[in-house]
Structure 1
Amino acid sequence: MRVLTMSDSELDKLEIIRDVDLNRMPARAAAVVLGISERQVWRLLKRYRLQGAGGLISLKRGQPSNRKTPYDVRLAVMAVVRSNYADFGPTFAAEKLHELHDLSVSRETLRAWMIEDGLWQTRKKRRGRVHQPRYRRDCVGELIQIDGSDHRWFEGRGPKCTLLVFIDDATSRLMHLQFVQTESTFAYYKATRTYLETFGKPIAFYSDKHAVFRVNKPGGANTDGLTQFGRALSDLNIEIICANSSQAKGRVERANRSLQDRLVKELRLAGVSSMVDGNAFLPSFIADYNARFAKLPANPKDLHRAMTDRDNLDDTFTWRVDRTLSQALTLQYDKVLFILEPTEAAQAAIGKRVTVYDYPDGRLVIRYEDQDLPYRTFDKIRQVKQTNVVENKRLGSLLDLIKQSQEASPPPTRTDKAPRRRDQSGHMFNVG
C-alpha cells in the first residue's frame, strides 16, 4: 500500500475534482472555486482518473525553484565572504558585498548560505537567558547610557584599548564614542566634556557600578558618598544612576556587541591601527551607524539643557580633594608635601579645610574660599609605594601601561614627583 503526502491545498483540490468526477459539481464551478481555468480543471480530472489522488500532487515537489540563485553565483559570493567577511553577520556582510564588490544578494539568502556553510548560527542556537525588555524613555536627552568597552579594537594592528560609549536611551543613537587607554575618571571627564559642549546637559546618565561612578566601599575617604565623576555631574545638575545588572542597561550593552563586530571590521577595512586615527574615524562611523539603526523618539522634544556661564567646565572636571592646612602651612597630597606661601589668606586658612584642584592637563591649584593660594613643593617624598587595588577586568590594561612606562622612563630618583594619574597630560603640579 502506497502512502501519499499531500498539502492542505492539494487535499482541497482532491475533494473538488472528486465531486466533478462524480457529477456533483460542474467543471465551471470547480474552476471558480480553485481559481484556475476550466481547461485546467479538465486536465486535473484526466490525471485523477489515470493516477488517482497521486495525480494531483504538484509536479514541482522536490525540484529546485525557478527563482533559485544559480549555483555558480553562490560559489562566487561565498568565496568572497570566506576570504573577507567570515566573521561578519549576514546583514553586515550583504552590505559590504553590495558596496565593495557589486554583488547584490539579499541578507536572508546570504544568511541561509552562511548557516549551510557553518559561518553563522541560527537565532535559536545563539539565544541565551531571556530578560524582559524595558520601555524606552520618551525624549532625546532624558537618559544617556554610558559604558566602557575594553577590547582589541585594532585587532593585531595596534594596542588593546577602551572605547567609551554614550548612547541615547530613547532613540538608540550613538551620541559620542571615544578611544582611551583605560576606563578612568579623567578619560570620562574628557569624553563627557566633549559630549556636553556638543549636545548640552542631559537629565541623567545611566551606568554600571564601576568605581568611576559609584563609591563601592562605604566609609572611605569620600564621606559625601560621591565619586569624583559623580561630584562633577552634581555640580552640573546631572543625575548619575547606577544599574543593578548589565541587562538593566541593555541598550548600551547591545551597542557594545554591535560595535565589537561592526566597528572592528570597519577599522580593519579602513586600515586604522591607532587610537588617534580611530578617534578621527569615529564621527563618520557614528553618522552611518545612526542612519541605519537609530529609532525615532516617542516625543520629539529634546531635553538637553544649554550650557550657561555658571557651568565652569575647567573647574568642574578636576580631581578635587580636601586637606586640613597645618600650623606650618603644609599639606600632603598624592605623596607630595606642599608648603604654602605665608600670605594673609594662607594664614587665615590654618587649621581649616582647603581644596586641592588637580586638573587633567597637569596643573594643580590649592584654593580656600574661592581664592588661589601660592605654594611650592617639598622635594622629599615617601619612598614606600603602596600596592594599587585593581579590578580583575582592568588588569590587562594596567599591565600594558606599566610595561610602557618602564620601557619609556628611567628609574625614579629621590627628586621625582609622584606618578601621574591615568589620562592626565603635561607635567606634574605646575603652579597655576
Structure 2
Amino acid sequence: MSQEQLKRYTVIQKTLEGTITVKEAAEVLDLSARQVIRLRKGVKENGAAALIHKNQGRKPANTISDELKQKIINLKMSDIYKDANFKHFQELLERIENIKLSYSALYGILTGAGIKSPKKKRRFKPHRRRKRKPQMGLLIQMDGTPFDWLGDGNKYTLHGAIDDATGNIVGLYLTKNECLHGYFETIRYMILNFGIPVSIYSDAHAIFLSTKAGKLTIEEQLEGKVCNDTQFQRAMKELGVTTITARSPQAKGRVERLWNTLQSRLPVEFKIAGIKTIDEANEFLKSYIPMFNRIFSVEPQEAESAFRPLAAGLDLDCVLCIKQKRKVDNGGVFSFYGKQFKVIQKENQPSIPTRATVNVFISSITGVRVEYNGRIYETVPFVKPKKSAVADDPKETKSPYRPPDSHYYKYGQNLFKPVTFEESDREILEMLQEIFLGKYRKLA
C-alpha cells in the first residue's frame, strides 16, 4: 500500500470510529463528501483492500506484447529496414508487415532498445517562408540531384518536379547524369498526368539557361543581338510555359527539401521492391509518386487547378525533342553530327524539294524525324555505297630520262674541278675569317 492509500485508510477509519466527520475527512483528503462516503462503505465491507484500484498490477488491454516489441526491433535491425527513419519505418510496418501502432509507441520501443534514427534532425532556424501559390499548377519547381539511389555505390541523377501550392510530386525520372532527356521525361509525366503548368522555376543550369545569357554588351544589344534559347526553353515556349531562373538554392526551397525526404526514403523503397537498374527504378517511380503525394501533399488555397490540358492535335514527341535545321540533297539525304539520314516519303506525303531546309527532330523515343511544311517524315540511316576498286591496266614503267654528258646543259662540267671540303676544320675557319673579317684586320 502506498503512502497516499495509507493516509486515506487512516482518515476513513477515523470516520468509522466517529473521531472526525465526513466533511472534515473530505477537507483533509481533498475529496468530495460523496467520495468519502463511498470509500468508507468499501472499507467497512472489504477493509483496506477497497482503497486499492482493481487494475493495479494488470497490464492495459492495449499494451504491446513483449513478443511484438522484439519482432519490431528485429525488423528494424534487418538489412531491409535498417536505413529507414522512424516515421518511414512506421509507414512500412503498416503497409508491408500489417503492424499498426502510433509513432510515440514505436519511438519508445526503438529508443528503449538503443536504436537511433538514421535521419539527423537539424536545429530549428527561424526564417521567413515564402507563401505557397494559391492554385495548383501556377508554379512548378524543377531540379536534379545525384545520389546513390540504388545502393550499389554509383551516383545517379534523379530529376524531379514539385508543385508549389500542394507539395505534390508531378514528375520523377532517373538517369545516369543530369541531362535534357531526364527533364523532358519529367515534363512528359507531368503533362500526361496533371497538365501543362503556368510557369517552371529552376536553377541556372545550362539546360535551362544559355551560358551566354547576360553576357551581351550594350552595343550588341543595341544592334539587336539576342541570346538563343536552349532546347528546354524552346520547348517550354511552344507549350506556353514561362521559365523562371532562381538565383540561389534557397529560392527553390521546396524541391531542395524534397531531395532530403527522397534520399531518406527512396533507397529503402528500392531495396524492398528489389530494384537494381535505372529502367526498373523509372517504372517503379510511376506508382510511387501517387503514394508519396497521399502522405505529404496539402490542400491548395483555391480548389480550381491552373494546369492546362494538352491541346488537341499537338504531338508531344514533336515538342519534347531537340530541333535543328538541315538541308536535303537531291536524293533526300541530309547530314547530322557526322551521320547521314534519308527521308522516307509515304504515299500520301508530298516530296521534299531539293536543297530544301527541313527541321530535324531528335528524340530518344521516336528517333530522328524530319518536319517540312507541317508534315512529319520518318528517316532511316543512309550509308553511301563504296566504289568498287577496279585495278587499272598495268603500264610499262619507264626509267627517268638522264641527259648524256655531251648535252648542252652539261657542257663544260668536266672543265672545272669539283669543289670539296677535304681540308681540316681549322683551315675552313681561317678561310671564313679571311672572307668575312679580312678587311677589318687590315684596318686594325
Q: TM-score, normalised by structure 1?
A: 0.61
Q: Separation in 1 of the partners of 2:288 and 2:187?
A: 19
Residue in 2 that maps onto 1:275: 278
Residue in 1 that maps onto 2:76: 81
Q: In structure 1, the residue corresponding to 2:251 is in which secondary structure?
A: coil
Where does 1:120-139 land on structure 2 (aligned, <5 Å)?
120=117, 126-127=122-123, 130-139=126-135
Q: In structure 1, the residue corresponding to 2:135 is in which secondary structure?
A: coil
2:368 equivalent among 357, 363, 374: 363
Q: 1:288 to 1:35 in 2, by over 3 A?
A: farther
Q: Separation in 2 of the partners of 1:206 and 1:165?
A: 12
Q: In structure 2, the residue corresponding to 1:248 is in which secondary structure?
A: helix
Where does 1:12-411 land on structure 2 (aligned, <5 Å)?
26-28=24-26, 37-38=35-36, 74-83=69-78, 84-115=80-111, 117-120=114-117, 126-127=122-123, 130-156=126-152, 160-218=155-213, 219=215, 223-309=226-312, 311-321=314-324, 334=337, 357-360=361-364, 361-363=366-368, 365=370
Q: 74-83 or 253-262: which moved more?
A: 74-83
Q: 1:365 to 1:267 in 2, by over 3 A?
A: same
Q: Separation in 1 of the partners of 2:244 and 2:320?
A: 19
Gapped regions of structure 2 (runs ≥ 5): 1-20, 41-56, 217-224, 344-350, 385-444
Q: Separation in 1 of the partners of 2:283 and 2:381?
A: 40
Q: Separation in 1 of the partners of 2:32 and 2:129?
A: 46
Q: TM-score, normalised by structure 2?
A: 0.59
**Per-residue deviation at 1:290?**
1.5
Q: Separation in 1 of the partners of 2:340 and 2:177?
A: 28
Q: What letter matches 2:293 in structure 1?
A: N
Identity of aligned residues (%): 27
Q: Separation in 2 of the partners of 1:65 and 1:126?
A: 41
Rg (Cα) greater in structure: 2
Gapped regions of structure 1 (runs ≥ 5): 1-22, 43-63, 380-432
Contact 2:203–2:246 under 8 Å retained in 1: yes
Contact 1:214–1:227 under 8 Å retained in 2: yes
**Cα-to-partner distance string for 1:187-215 (whole Å, 9 max, x where unaligned):** 32233133223322110111122211122
Q: 27-36 or 133-142: which moved more?
A: 27-36
Alignment RMSD: 4.6
Q: Separation in 1 of the partners of 2:33 and 2:252?
A: 54
Residue in 2 that maps onto 1:57: none
Q: 1:74 to 1:302 in 2, by over 3 A?
A: same
Q: 1:231 to 1:166 in 2, by over 3 A?
A: same
Q: How many residues align?
A: 326
Q: Separation in 1 of the partners of 2:319 and 2:71?
A: 58
Q: 275-284 or 369-378: which moved more?
A: 369-378
